Chain A
Amino acid sequence: MLDDARFGLNRQVRLPGPFRLDSGAVLPEIEIGYETYGAPAADGGNAVLVCHALTGDQHVASPHPRTGKPGWWGRMVGPGRPIDPDRYLVICANVLGSCMGSTGPASADPATGQPYGMRFPVITIADMVRAQAALLDHLGLARLKAVVGGSMGGMQALAWAAAHPDRVEAALVIASAARHSAQNIAFHEVGRQAIMADPKWRGGDYYGTGDPPAAGLAVARMAAHITYLSEAGLTEKFGRRLQARDAKSFGFDADFQIESYLRHQGIAFTDRFDANSYLYITRALDYFDLAEDHGGVLANAFRGTRTRFCVVSFDTDWLYPTAESRAIAHALNAAAAPVSFVELSSPFGHDAFLLESPELFRIVDGFLRAGG
């Protein structure tokens, strides 16, 4: 192992501010929870930053500290996997606004010593990238061999390439989009309203009560979870089958397997995630529109870039459909950036990027190795 406390699993660092945000607000300091796998090359040229999705965390390939479940992308990151720590220094950081060791609404406001709650400033995808860039400065990593992410992680990868073209050699954007659509915003608003409608939410000041708005957060998760799956996948997995009973109950129990499954997903989620963080991160996603920051022309975000790009979508993903990925590829093409794009076939909808996918693995492996 490395004899350097900055590298390894379960790291946390406090970075001095002032840390200026897109909103104009300033955080006096930030904390970042992160993990690294592998060792930096002598020239520091093997760093791969993995960016996580909405409810993800830094435990990309190590067990989750609360649930004990394996890392969320252990299929992609690990020995013998496409993002192999024997080859790369892999970094994954909890995003700003989250609740797994990075500064967010559950953190104490240094001014008052109390949790921020809804006094935490609204953050953006670009703010998340700023926090990651500050972390890389702390780690002494001037350049990234690649930044890789699925879903919201892909948005961070795009924002990285747009904000730091000389720092990013390659960007891999999977099952993602360059902006949130009206439908994306609509589903998030349902989730936020479910949290805020829970009386236990208390305007966001529930931290001292030991009684968080779990019911509201669970409903938010249930609604979102549907968007991560495909209709065909749901039909195949659950159909109209009943849950542990032979007949309909003529009541409102979870008669159907799909109801039982969603309720379980919702409740399990509340054990590991903070409701206010869910509000803030969904807001950051809804505010994301990379073209908007560049005169409405997405290609302008990448003019003159030397970063290599690879964009991957899945045919059954209706959360961030192929058309969104294609729009990214077209914009990169118009900017004369080296870009690959492929739509892969999978029955699993948006979640396909997290699952076993030999074709995806082959693409990621080849794309990363192509940089030499």
Chain B
Amino acid sequence: MPALRPDLAIIAANVAPGARVLDIGCGDGALMAALRDGLGADARGLELDPANVAASVARGLSVIQGDADVDLADYPTDAFDYAILSQTLQTTRRPDQVLAELLRIGRRAFVSFPNFAHWRVRLSLLWGGRMPVTRLLPLAWYETPNIHHVTIDDFRDFVRSRGIAVEGAWFLSGDRLTSAAAANFRAEHAVFLLSRSPAGAGRG
């Protein structure tokens, strides 16, 4: 099996075997295929790009072409054990509503995103006075799909204010795990495992 992107590898390592999983923005289906083949998961996908949908279907995966901003409403409540949104939150029109949908459809949600407070981003803005173009944010301001940049601290605040429980958090720098302590400064991207409320934070 080809190596997964680091944030996807973290997710794959923390999904329970045999789980029902919805991968939103599933790309070419790499994570879904890993979950299916490695964990016997029942994985479904939602993906905007038709070429990526075709690639996923050609891998034998069940993927629906659609838009996270619009089409999540059509999924039944509690349909999945996990809803996964990897590197997609910052591209949605209403990240708050998408997150609410994730935790309606799935009992738990994995969310990964590039951290806009990483020191390289800060340097670019502080010293260059320019919107950053980095390894994880490779496109210039006028062509990037990232329309809602978010930092790790922003995200922590947000889930706290919505009463969403954090069951796990992983921070990556140079594709290696880094500590939670200075994550907002040092981490290039973050992976959060969320569940609906603190009351539901116990292991299911």
Do A and B belong to a common assembly?
Answer: yes
Cβ distance B75 to chain A, nearest Cβ, rounded Å? 6
Q: Which residue of B lies closest to A313 (CB)?
A: B65
Partner of A333, one of B56, B59, B74: B74
Closest to A326 in B: B66
- What B residues does A365 contact at CB under 8 A? 58
With known contacts A363-B58, A366-B57, A340–B50 Cβ distance under 8 A: no
Interface, chain A (partner B; CB < 8 A): 308, 310, 326, 329-330, 333-334, 336, 338-345, 359, 362-363, 365-367, 369-371
Alpha-carbon separation in the docked complex, A344 to B49 (Å): 10
Inter-chain pairs besides A340-B62, A362-B54, 15 sampled, C-beta below 8 Å: A310-B57, A330-B74, A333-B74, A333-B75, A338-B62, A339-B64, A340-B53, A340-B63, A342-B65, A365-B58, A366-B58, A366-B60, A367-B58, A367-B60, A370-B59
Least CB separation from A330: chain B residue: B74
Which of B42, B56, B74 is A340 in contact with, Cβ under 8 Å? B56
Cβ-based interface call for B123 (8 A): no
User: Could you tell me if A334 and B74 are in contact, using CB atoms closer than 8 angstroms?
Assistant: yes
Residue of A nearest to B53 (CB): A342
Residues of A within 8 A of B60 (CB): 366-367, 369-371
- Which chain B residues border A330 with CB–CB below 8 Å? 74
Q: How far is the CA of A366 from the CA of B55 in the complex (A)?
A: 9
B109 to chain A, nearest CB (A): 18
Q: Whole-angstrom distance between the alpha carbons of A338 and B44 in the complex? A: 8
Taking the closest CB of chain B, its distance from the CB of A220, in whole angstroms, is 34
Size of B's binding interface in residues, CB under 8 A? 21
CB distance A340 to B59 under 8 Å?
Answer: no
Please provide the 6 A-B residue pairs with the shortest distance between their CB atoms, ordered closest to farther. A370-B60, A366-B58, A342-B53, A338-B62, A341-B64, A342-B65
Q: How far is the CB of A366 from chain B (nearest CB, A)?
A: 3
Which single member of B42, B54, B59, B75 contacts A342 (CB below 8 Å)? B54
**Would A308 and B57 count as touching, CB distance under 8 A?**
no
Interface centre among B44, B50, B61 (most CB of A within 10 A): B50
Please tell me if B51 contacts chain A, counting CB pairs below 8 Å: yes
Question: Out of A308, A310, A343, A371, which one reaches B50, CB within 8 Å?
Answer: A343
- Would B76 and A367 count as touching, CB distance under 8 A? no
Write out the residue numbers on chain B whose beta carbons fall within 8 Å of the beta carbon of A345.
50
Known contacts: A345-B50, A359-B50. The answer to whether A340 contacts B75 by CB under 8 A is no
| Contact (A340, B61) CB under 8 Å given A333-B75, A334-B74 | yes
Is B100's CB within 8 Å of the partner chain A?
no
Distance A308 CA – B42 CA, assembled complex (angstroms): 12
Q: Are A359 and B54 in contact, with the CB atoms below 8 A?
A: yes
How far is it, in angstroms, between the C-alpha of A340 and the C-alpha of B66 when the chains are bound? 11
Cβ B50 vs Cβ A344 within 8 A: yes
- 26 CB-based A-B contacts, threshold 8 Å: A333-B64, A333-B75, A334-B74, A336-B76, A339-B62, A339-B64, A340-B61, A340-B64, A341-B64, A341-B65, A342-B53, A342-B54, A342-B57, A342-B65, A343-B50, A344-B50, A344-B54, A359-B50, A359-B51, A362-B54, A365-B58, A367-B58, A367-B60, A370-B57, A370-B61, A371-B60
CB-nearest residue of chain B to A338: B62
Q: What is the bound-complex CA distance between A370 and B56, given in angstroms?
A: 11
Question: How far is the CB of B37 from the nearest CB of chain A, in Å?
Answer: 12
B79 at interface by CB-CB < 8 Å: yes
Question: For residue B59, which residues in chain A have a CB less than 8 angstroms away from its CB?
Answer: 366, 370
Proximity bits, B21-65, A CB within 8 Å = 1, else 0: 000000000000000000000101000001101101111111111
Contact indicator B57/A363 (Cβ below 8 Å): yes
A343 x B54 contact (CB < 8 A): no
Contacts of B75 in A (CB 8 A): 333
Q: How far is the CB of B68 from chain A (nearest CB, A)?
A: 14
Q: Which residue of B lies closest to A325 (CB)?
A: B65
CB-CB nearest in chain A for B58: A366
Q: Which residue of A lies closest to B43 (CB)?
A: A338
Residues of A within 8 Å of B58, CB to CB, are 362-363, 365-367
Give the Cβ gap from A335 to chain B, nearest Cβ, in Å. 9
Our pick among A308, A326, A344, A369 for the contact of B62 (Cβ within 8 Å) is: A308
Complex formed: what's the CA distance from A181 to B42 in Å?
A: 34
Contacts of B44 in A (CB 8 A): 338
C-alpha spacing A343/B52, complex, angstroms: 12
Q: How far is the CB of A117 from chain B (nearest CB, A)?
A: 45
Give CA–CA (A365, B59) in the complex, Å.
10
Report how far A359 CA is from B25 CA in the complex, Å: 20
What residues of chain B lie closer than 8 Å to A329, measured between beta carbons? 64
**B74 touching A367, Cβ below 8 Å:** no
A370: B residues at CB distance < 8 A: 57, 59-61
What distance in Å separates the Cβ of A115 from its nearest Cβ neighbour in chain B? 45
Q: Which residues of A contact B50 (CB under 8 A)?
A: 342-345, 359
